[in-house]
Amino acid sequence: MNWTLALPELVLAIGTLLILVAGVLPKRETYFPVCMASIGALLLTAVLVLAQGEGSAFGGQYIADGFSRFMKVLALLAAAVGLLLALDFNEKERIGRFEYPVLLLLASLGMLVMISANDLLVLYMGIELLSLPLYVIAAFDRDNGRSAEAGLKYFVLGALASGLMLYGSSLVYGFAGATGFDQIAAAFNHQHGVSAGVVVGVVFVIAGLAFKVSAVPFHMWTPDVYEGAPTPVTAFFSAAPKVAALALLARVLYDPFGDLAPQWQQVIILMSLLSMVLGAFAAIGQQNIKRLMAYSSIGHVGYALMGLAVADTAGLRGLLIYMAIYVAMNLGAFAVLIAMRRQGKAVETVADLAGLGRTDPMRAAWMSIFMFSMAGIPPLAGFFGKLYVFLAAVQGGLWLLAVVGVLASVVSAYYYLRIVKIMYFDEAAGRLDDAPASLGVVMAAAGIFTLAFALWPAPLVAAAQSAAMALLGG
């Protein structure tokens, strides 16, 4: 069984149950201590992941390697920051209940299972363990109609995506005779030619996973859910689950279906192209900044999929570097958005940032850094994230992807720079409330990383290279 390989998941599961009991038993309010305990549990799990050995467990259904270690640590850090962002906001919006951090812990456990899945059944179990808590927290502000609508839309479309993935998995099982990734790969290695049924099955599995990363054409839930859900929930949605879903997509495509690359590459290339184009153009007219960030995240997923489409070590390395940088600058931007309150009331339109450069210069400076970085302007981290995936695409012969990516970056720069222009050149709409210390810490940490990456990129690049080689076998 070698269950010790799954020690991080076991510790997180037991810790979640203990925190749940600690939240239920006392008669007094437990939201803040439960949040802090949950952040501690996530960080402890990240430490255990770093100390984790390599190998497989539970009959080969669970795998631990350098790739899973990189993505797990990234997902856990994103989840911990996402929980930190919710500390002050949820209390002010009177949705600060101890169930929220517990649900985030359960979702994080699902992410860990997804990243280490080495079997189609474990893959589905991890996705559902992630999805069910997400459906609940999307509608966590139950007195808000928009939040309830967001949760319902996400649930209905998520159920459809799960059905697509299950159907694809059943087709793959029917043709390969196994659900384990290693056995599927071995079965396809011994087959002469690939049947149409296998290709259809792979496409359905990709469709189910593409829903989780909100890649076009499976993005339809993203703008409405991002706008309707509480802002810290939106911040969490935009970072941690995307890391886990892209990690699982990479493992599924490269491990069991690695020999079918000519078939699935076309699907990934199409999703990447459509995501970059839609993300660039659909965000231009958005006035609600959460909807704008929703389309922005769709565009960034397109850039990440570019690295996946290359189907080699350089492309996968570019994907990993891009996701690490995206998580940092995206959570930093959401820290600014969560701090957008005027006279105690949350505001969320682009116009509400008007004059921020004069009323709160430091917050405006951080937001400008994140916007410039998302636009891909050097020497900020976002530029290097795009550079690595573009170079991998060019070296892999995917010139069309690289050209469309550059053009999409130029178009998307309009709405990022528009936010900077509104903050510094428009007449102030009124002073925003001071940001809580927890949000200031996230802004500063993400901003410093975004600024300093160009000075010291070697650790992240080396870690990403090692993780990519671990998945692709050298």
Q: How many domains does one find in the chain?
A: 1
Q: Is residue 199 part of a domain?
A: no
pTM as predicted: 0.94
Is 253:210 a contact under the CB 8 Å cutoff? no
The residue whose two tokens read 């998995």 is 169
Two structure tokens written together for 10: 């076991």
Q: Which residues pair with 288 in a beta bridge?
A: 349
Side-chain-side CA neighbours of 252 within 13 Å: the count stands at 33
Q: Is residue 360 part of a domain?
A: yes
pLDDT of amino acid 83: 93
Q: Is residue 444 part of a domain?
A: yes
Comparing 80 with 23, the larger pLDDT belongs to 80
Is 104:111 a contact under the CB 8 Å cutoff? no
Q: Is residue 443 part of a domain?
A: yes
Cα–Cα distances (Å) from 150 to 72, 155, 189, 252, 402, in that order, read 27, 9, 44, 29, 34
| Confidence category of residue 116, pLDDT binned at 50, 70, 90 | very high
Amino acid residing at 173: Y
Q: What is the pLDDT of residues 305-332, one digit of tens each?
A: 999 999 889 999 999 999 999 999 999 9
Q: Is residue 333 part of a domain?
A: yes
Q: Is the pLDDT of residue 473 over 80?
A: no
Is 87:97 a contact under the CB 8 Å cutoff? no
pLDDT of amino acid 24: 84
| Mean pLDDT value across residues 107-135 | 93
User: In 257-348, at which residue ranges do the beta strands (DSSP E only) sit?
Assistant: 341-342, 345-346
Q: Is residue 125 part of a domain?
A: no
Is 93:120 a contact under the CB 8 Å cutoff? no
Cα–Cα distances (Å) from 191 to 30, 41, 255, 298, 445, in that order, read 58, 46, 16, 37, 51
pLDDT of amino acid 9: 93
Q: Is residue 204 part of a domain?
A: no
Taken in order 276, 282, 287, 288, is the CA torsion positive or negative?
Answer: negative
For residue 215, which of 134, 273, 164 has the smallest C-alpha distance? 273
| Confidence category of residue 427, pLDDT binned at 50, 70, 90 | confident
Q: Is the pLDDT of residue 474 over 60?
A: no
Q: Is residue 237 part of a domain?
A: no
Two structure tokens written together for 47: 């430490």
In which domain, by residue range, is 336 found?
260-474
Two structure tokens written together for 32: 């803040």
The pLDDT > 90 percentage for the chain reads 60
| Confidence category of residue 175, pLDDT binned at 50, 70, 90 | confident
pLDDT of amino acid 356: 87
Instruction: Report which secondary-structure segment, H or E, holds 63.
Output: strand 62-64
pLDDT of amino acid 105: 95
Report the mean per-residue pLDDT for the chain: 90
